[in-house]
Structure 1
């Protein structure tokens, strides 16, 4: 059974719904409780390119902006464990934020206008200096899923075979329609903002692990990104863990949707590894078409057409989700995840993505602060004040 872990970035907000730079203060509380790292510890670990806590992946840590914090689950072997871990660490993150007068919200962008405040630390300061407005304005929250692989050769074989499905994951997790107080017209504006980083996006099929590492070395040799941590491929080999890391998802409002995402990513990895072992070549979708597929997914989420990974042509989002489920069904069945993931996708399609929920609350209330309040409640596992917000 392949192990899986999830990282979520969360906004730290005040009672008015505005992001506030209290993430480092909340993390000091968490560090005193033995639940996370403070800014100084995390900065040192990032600069030394090693896990700050080698015994476990579970942690609460800083992010680029002081209006954020990040949680990470322990290494999990079942989706029930992923569910329990996410709920536990969301509660602990919210408890730490409450201790300093704030809350956390699983929103991929802030609905309300905000001036991002950088987190202190040598590495973050270098990012601000090198990348200017891109780094200054970047206040976005994603969800990253790690799945174990046997070695780098298997990992690269997996990367080559899952790339066409990654935009579908963006569509199903879309949770960022608003930016600086306005509706962007996108379901996942986070993914559009993210592409401003020079190393972000899909990569070509690579021959083997040696070719992948040459590609990373070539990226670093340009002296454009600071280190391997800034090699922001849509999916990559983790530098810190023996995993493939999939990075295309928005952070989602409902824990159940994050669990569904984790199940699908694990099944994609397992399916790709089996295809590689059987000698099935990677699908032939070009990187240029993949970029277009990512844009289409970000624009409409599950409410319009997506680019079908098997044809390269537009198709209704529901049919593409059905194709994804068919593609990974044997791997899901072998992991015991088939029913849970199928039901999770059905619930998601029926309820709508976080982006749809945010717009629905805004239509009903005319108040972006109400959108944030609903998100805070859902992040904490509570029922929003307006029950209609749950869809």
Structure 2
């Protein structure tokens, strides 16, 4: 798992460009032990990655260890880390000095220069690209509820965006972002990627920003739709749901069950609705693609995954974690609740710093 975290000033709550100092103190990403820290496009953020895990308990430990390590290194640089998917206070981000990011800024202008968002990317191992593409084809309609669950970016440039996940909207400015059509085979997937590269629009395969894709570096499906979660416990829940989706989709493929051919425009609407509403109001149901109460949709997500979750011994843990999240709300709700009391976005950021390490 990869979590992107904001670097913030402990007094003002504004983002601060100290990623270079944080990473210089943390050592190499390729070290043998977790967590590993890596740069992102802006100097006001860092990425924390776990090692591959096989149990939720192991993953929970690594996520908390990664956040704590990032916090320790940030404090040595005079900053704090906050698991916020967008910066609540006005920000003027500064690009990391890597040549690739500079090229992106030259090519994509404000889309790159203003891209200060923090996501959560979940990798799940697959046996080969054929299984991976079969999974991608079958999880498409089930991804928007993950946006709703993880939504943790209500504020943008000092204003309430009126979205629970404005990160999903801002990220959608990239030309390759969003849901995909059915691929049908690994060969067809590679043909699409090759055709995208042949346009000369994107710099490399790393800019294939599908909601879910085959990883370039690992034998995994990489699900990329989620905001970074405010609470570490919600990150673990998200991982359990994603692993359940991948295994459920793989079983359906092996059983010869076809993928739902829901059109991409409908999937885009489902993602928009999840980004707007979070886990309150309505979502588009993954099976019927018509509005349904968010609570009913979440219940049906768990029902869809229940056989796999039960086999993995995770059904009870998922039920408990989801009930807790629904009772207290997602990160967007927590941010707005704090702001409604204090009236201060700086205080909201300080609260997020506390919750990041809880």
Structure 1 and Structure 2 fold alike (TM over 0.5) = yes
- 1:291 and 2:268 equivalent? yes
- 1:344 and 2:339 equivalent? no
Counterpart position of 2:119:
142
Map 1:241-390; keep pairs closer than 5 Å.
241-381=218-358
- Counterpart secondary structure, 1:109: coil
- 1:131 and 2:126 equivalent? no
Q: Return the match for 2:26 from 20, 23, 30.
A: 30
CA positional deviation for 1:9: 0.2
Counterpart position of 1:99:
76
Gaps of at least 5 residues in structure 1 are 1-5, 38-52, 382-391
Gaps of at least 5 residues in structure 2 are none
Give distance in 2, aligned partners of 1:19 and 1:204: 37
CA positional deviation for 1:261: 0.2
Give distance in 2, aligned partners of 1:56 and 1:293: 39
Counterpart position of 1:388:
none
1:61–1:71 CA contact under 8 A, matched in 2: yes
The C-alpha deviation readout for 1:309-352, integer Å capped at 9, x for no partner, is 10010001000000000000011111111111111111110010
Give distance in 1, aligned partners of 2:265 and 2:77: 46
CA positional deviation for 1:304: 1.2
Give distance in 1, aligned partners of 2:36 and 2:257: 38
Runs of 4+ residues over 4 Å off in structure 1: 54-58
1:57–1:75 CA contact under 8 A, matched in 2: no
Q: Return the match for 1:8 from 3, 24, 27.
A: 3
- 1:114 and 2:91 equivalent? yes
Give distance in 1, aligned partners of 2:327 and 2:115: 32
- Counterpart secondary structure, 2:143: helix
CA positional deviation for 1:54: 8.5
2:34–2:62 CA contact under 8 A, matched in 1: no
- Counterpart secondary structure, 1:108: coil
Give distance in 2, aligned partners of 1:256 and 1:215: 36
2:34–2:66 CA contact under 8 A, matched in 1: no
1:56–1:75 CA contact under 8 A, matched in 2: no
Counterpart position of 2:204:
227
Give distance in 1, aligned partners of 2:36 and 2:69: 10
The C-alpha deviation readout for 1:171-223, integer Å capped at 9, x for no partner, is 00000000000001000000000000010000001120000010111111111
- Counterpart secondary structure, 1:64: coil
CA positional deviation for 1:284: 2.5
Give distance in 1, aligned partners of 2:35 and 2:290: 40
Deviates more, 1:312-321 or 1:57-66: 57-66
The TM-score, its normalising length taken from structure 1, stands at: 0.90
Taking a change above 3 Å as real, the CA distance of residues 225 and 55 of structure 1, as seen in their structure-2 partners, is farther
1:27–1:61 CA contact under 8 A, matched in 2: yes
The C-alpha deviation readout for 1:254-289, integer Å capped at 9, x for no partner, is 110000000000000000000000001111211110
Counterpart position of 2:146:
169
1:154–1:273 CA contact under 8 A, matched in 2: yes
Superposed CA RMSD: 1.0
2:153–2:164 CA contact under 8 A, matched in 1: yes
Taking a change above 3 Å as real, the CA distance of residues 165 and 8 of structure 1, as seen in their structure-2 partners, is same
CA positional deviation for 1:55: 5.8
The TM-score, its normalising length taken from structure 2, stands at: 0.98
The C-alpha deviation readout for 1:42-83, integer Å capped at 9, x for no partner, is xxxxxxxxxxx3967741000000000000001000000110
- Counterpart secondary structure, 1:147: strand
2:35–2:69 CA contact under 8 A, matched in 1: no
CA positional deviation for 1:252: 0.5
Give distance in 2, aligned partners of 1:56 and 1:208: 35
Give distance in 1, aligned partners of 2:33 and 2:300: 35
Q: Return the match for 1:158 from 135, 142, 146.
A: 135
Give the total of aligned pairs: 357
Q: Return the match for 1:65 from 34, 38, 42.
A: 42
Give distance in 1, aligned partners of 2:304 and 2:261: 16
- 1:75 and 2:58 equivalent? no
CA positional deviation for 1:133: 0.6
2:151–2:229 CA contact under 8 A, matched in 1: yes
